Amino acid sequence: MGIYIYSKNKLKNVIVYLFDTLMYGKNGRGRFKLKKKICIISAVLILCIFLGGITLAGYMKSAKVKEQFNLGSKFLKEGKYEEAIIAFEKVIKIEPKNVEARVDMAKACIEVKKLELAEKMLKEAISIDTKNVEAYLLLGKLYVDTGRIEEAIALQDNGFNKTNNNEIKNFKEELSAILQKSKENYENAIKQMNEKIYLEAIDTFGRVDKRDGKRYSDSQSKILECKRLYINDNLKMAEESFKNNKFDEANVILGNIAKIDENNSEMLKLKSDIAKAVQKLNEEEEAKRAAIEKNKSKTLSLDIINTIINLNKGEIVKKLGNNYEIIPYGAEGWCRALNYKELGVIIAFKPGFVNGEFGIPDTSKVEWMDCDERVDINGARNGMNFEQVQNILGKTKVESYTYVPDGSTSSVTQFCIKYIIENCKVSFTASDSEGRKPSRYVSIVSAKSN
């Protein structure tokens, strides 16, 4: 037995057709020989049958919708999301404008990450019912969770205009505050990056909200770029420090790089080169110390130098002996000096004439003395770096000065630390600020000199 559902116009046409048939015959050629009342009663009976069919069909349809909706709700509550989706789809197929089925189906879709389908259902729900608060809120949260906070704000703004609902209004205000903070962090990070404050920029980019999709995505790219630029800048500084034998400083800089990328190949290679250079330097210093120990019996002490620094040439020779060589010394060889090779000291004097020849008169006073590693300066010696000297003689500031070497047009910067010890002004000199590349000699002048 089939049940047919007719539209109003079709039903009207059927009734008219049946009435005419009863009254006038099938082809309208003569009247049907029933009384008028019987015809009317027959028409009413026929109409009741059709209306009953329509009512029954509607009831059966409603019952089917209710059955599938309740089943979908049950599955949704039990966490059987795929089954829930199937049930709600059946509801929508039977009743295409069912808003509740779309909203609940969207909830199930979100749980199983079918986000495009969830979005489609919620948009359809809003299109059918522009005042459905739950659909606005659920779709807004979906936008937020997929990094589309600005779309979510626009949706809530439209939803509030349609519904005047405070929950939608509050959600919009909450999202607007999040977006504003995210924008501020992004703009500040861009400024820090342009100013080359890369570590601060990395931290600020990291505070851009993930829900602010486009800015968050760009921030992640900018973080990688900042790391690359920071590493490159620090590698250049570390290499420069390495060239100047500032090994501790170079290692500190490389440590900063390791905090960003501990496996950076250029950083690891430079670190290895520094370790080798430090080992070589330590070996050289150890060799110097060994040589000093070996030649201790032949060296001068500061006590002796203190006694001769203010003497003239004749008095010094009486104390140290005649085992010296007279050599040109100083800038362009303008001085003359006594070179006591075995003692490790060169004593410079102003030149003069001796028996008509250019030389060192016995009355000439000492200009300065240069001492190699064999001369004991109260435990310190030439060849030690500044830290080693200061550990023995005490802390003092590192000074610098510039001069132009003989035969050169370019200036050179030297570094030194100075001490006044009794009658002597003692200067330890090097070409770097840490004293790792010391000059050949420690220079000593009289404390009385200016």
pLDDT score, position 304: 86
CA–CA gap between residue 151 and residue 163 (Å, rounded): 18
CB 367 within 8 A of CB 310: no
pLDDT in tens, 12-53: 565 556 556 555 555 555 444 445 556 556 555 565 555 555
Please say whether the beta carbons of 308 and 316 come within 8 A. yes
Q: CATH class for domain 173-294?
A: mainly alpha
Q: Give residue limits of the domains in the chain.
A: 8-129, 173-294, 297-446
**366 to 320, 327, 343, 359, 444: CA distances (angstroms):** 14, 15, 17, 14, 10
Judge whether 419 and 426 are in contact, CB under 8 Å. yes
pTM of the shown model: 0.53
Cα-Cα-Cα-Cα dihedral of 230, 233, 237, 238, to 10°? 60
Digitized pLDDT (tens) for each residue of the chain, 450 residues in all: 233 333 445 555 655 565 565 555 555 554 444 455 565 565 555 655 555 554 444 555 688 889 999 999 999 999 999 999 999 999 999 999 999 999 999 999 999 999 999 999 999 999 999 999 999 999 999 999 999 999 999 999 999 999 999 999 999 999 999 999 999 999 999 999 999 999 999 999 999 999 999 999 999 999 999 999 999 999 999 999 999 989 999 999 999 999 999 999 999 999 999 999 999 988 888 887 776 566 555 567 888 888 888 899 999 999 899 999 999 988 777 788 999 998 889 999 988 888 878 889 999 999 999 998 888 889 898 888 999 999 999 999 999 988 877 667 888 889 999 999 888 999 999 988 888 888 878 888 887 765
Sign of the alpha-carbon torsion through 254, 260, 263, 264: negative
What is the full DSSP assignment across 379-427? TB-TT--HHHHHHHH-----EEEEE--TT-SS-EEEEEEEEEETTEEEE
Got the DSSP string for 61-77? Answer: HHHHHHHHHHHHHHHHH
Does residue 430 contact residue 415 with C-beta atoms inside 8 Å? yes
In the chain, what percentage of residues exceed pLDDT 90? 61
Q: How far apart are CA 426 and CA 82, in angstroms?
A: 89
Distance, CA of 367 to CA of 334 (rounded, Å):
12
48 is written with which tokens?
């009741």
CA angle 152, 158, 161 (to 5 degrees): 140
pLDDT value, residue 7: 45
- pLDDT tens-place string over residues 94-107: 999 999 999 999 99
Residue among 261, 184, 188 nearest 224 (CA): 261
Judge contact between 436 and 281, C-beta under 8 A: yes
3-class state of residue 440 by DSSP = coil
Q: Which amino acid is at 249?
A: E
What local confidence, expressed as pLDDT, does residue 334 receive? Answer: 79
CA distance 377 to 142: 79
Nearest by Cα to 437 from 410, 412, 420, 419: 412
Instruction: Please report which helix (H) or strand (E) contains residue 446, including its range.
Output: strand 442-446
Which positions ≥6 away from 195 have C-beta within 8 Å?
A: none
Q: Do domains 8-129 and 173-294 have the same CATH topology?
A: yes
Please tell me the distance from the alpha carbon of residue 428 to that of residue 325, in angstroms, as a whole number.
Answer: 25
Q: How far apart, in whole angstroms, are the C-alpha atoms of residue 156 and residue 140?
A: 7
3-state secondary structure at position 148: strand
Largest CA distance in the chain: 176
Q: Give the span between the Cα atoms of 66 and 58, in whole angstroms.
A: 12
Please state, in angstroms and rounded to a whole number, the distance separating the CA atoms of residues 183 and 390: 53
Question: What stretch of H or E contains 100?
Answer: helix 99-111
| CATH number of this structure's domain 8-129, picked from the four choices 3.50.50.60, 1.25.40.10, 3.40.190.10, 3.30.470.10 | 1.25.40.10
The predicted structure's pLDDT at residue 6: 39
